[in-house]
Amino acid sequence: MSFVDEPFVKELDFSTLERVNSTFVSEEFARRESDVIWKLSFRGRPVYLYLLIEFQSSVDPLMALRFLRYVAELYASLVTEGQEPPLPAVFPLLLYTGDSRWSAARSTAEMIRPEIPEAFIPHLTYYPILVNEISTETLLRIHNAVAAVFYVENADPQKLAETLDELMAILSGEAPELFEVFGRWLSNYLAGTAGEAAVIEPIRSAREAKTMFATKLKEYGERLKEEAREEGRQEVKRETARAMIEREIDIAVIADVTGLTREEIAAL
C-alpha cells in the first residue's frame, strides 16, 4: 500500500491479510479488468480491500458506478453468508495501467445531478493508483517489487538496459525470492506474453539478480533490433513489389522476385 496516501492505511494489519475467493466483474468487462479482494484487520476489526485492475488504455467514464455495483454485490455476498449490520468497511482501490490520462469521475456523487438533497444521492468514492502518473523519483523512493513493476511499465522498453541501476535500486530492499518473482514477471513482460511464467534460476543475491536482468534486457534489445531489421527488409520487398505492380508485371513474377505471397502483393 505504498502508493495509497491515506492515514488509515498505516493502521492496517497486513499480517492478517487473507485473499477472498470472489469476483464480481461481469463477463462484459472481464477482458478489460480483473478484481482481487482481500480481508484484513483494522483496529481489531475486519475490513476489505477491493482492488480493481483496469488493463485498457481507454478511460471508462462510468468507473465509479461500476465500483458501486461491485461493492454492493460484495456486501450482498457477505449478507448471504450470514453477516449482519453493521457490515465491515470496504476500501475501493483502482489500479490503472493504461497510457491515457485518467479523467473519469472518482465518485458516484459527481455523476448524478444534485436535484434532490445530497443525503439521498449514492456516494461511493474509489481511490485511484495511476501507474502512468507516478514519477520516477517516487518509485526510486519506494523500495519494493511493486514499484519496480511500475517503473518498467512507465519506462521506454528500448532504454531499460540503460537504467538497470535505477531498477536495482528500487528492488534493493526486497528478499531474494521476490527478485525471482520479479524476474519471471520481467521475462514475460519483455516477451509480450501472459502465458506460463518464465523459469528463473534461484537468485541468492542482488548481484545475481542484476546479472540476470542485464541478460534479459540485452536479449530483448537484440530482438528489437532484429525485428527492426526484418521490418526494414520487408519494406524493401514491398517497395520493390509496388514498383513492379506499376509496371504491370505479372504477379507470379513479383512473388518470385520479392518472396512475398500473392495475398501480400494483392494487398498492395
* Tens-place pLDDT, residues 232-267: 778 877 888 887 788 777 788 788 777 888 888 888
Q: Residue 76 sits in which domain range? A: 1-133
Nearest to 186 by CA among 173, 197, 175: 197
Query: Per the domain annotation, does 50 fall within a domain?
Result: yes
- Asked if residue 125 and residue 236 are part of one domain, the reply reads no
Query: Per the domain annotation, does 151 fall within a domain?
Result: no
Query: Per the domain annotation, does 71 fall within a domain?
Result: yes
* Cα–Cα distance measured from residue 88 to residue 240, given in angstroms and rounded to the nearest whole number: 68
- Asked if residue 127 and residue 5 are part of one domain, the reply reads yes
Query: Per the domain annotation, does 236 fall within a domain?
Result: yes
pLDDT one-digit tens code per residue, 72-124? 999 999 999 999 999 999 999 998 988 888 999 999 999 999 999 999 999 99
Query: Per the domain annotation, does 174 fall within a domain?
Result: no
**Which of 133, 149, 171 corresponds to the end of one domain?**
133
**Which of 81, 101, 133 corresponds to the end of one domain?**
133
Span 159-188, mean pLDDT?
75
* Cα–Cα distance measured from residue 147 to residue 236, given in angstroms and rounded to the nearest whole number: 42
Count: domains in the chain:
2
**Which of 133, 149, 179 corresponds to the end of one domain?**
133
Whole-number pLDDT of residue 154 = 81
Residue found by looking up cell 520516477 in the block: 136
Model pTM greater than 0.85?
Answer: no
- Asked if residue 1 and residue 123 are part of one domain, the reply reads yes
CA 72 to chain centre: 25
* Cα–Cα distance measured from residue 248 to residue 254, given in angstroms and rounded to the nearest whole number: 10
Query: Per the domain annotation, does 141 fall within a domain?
Result: no
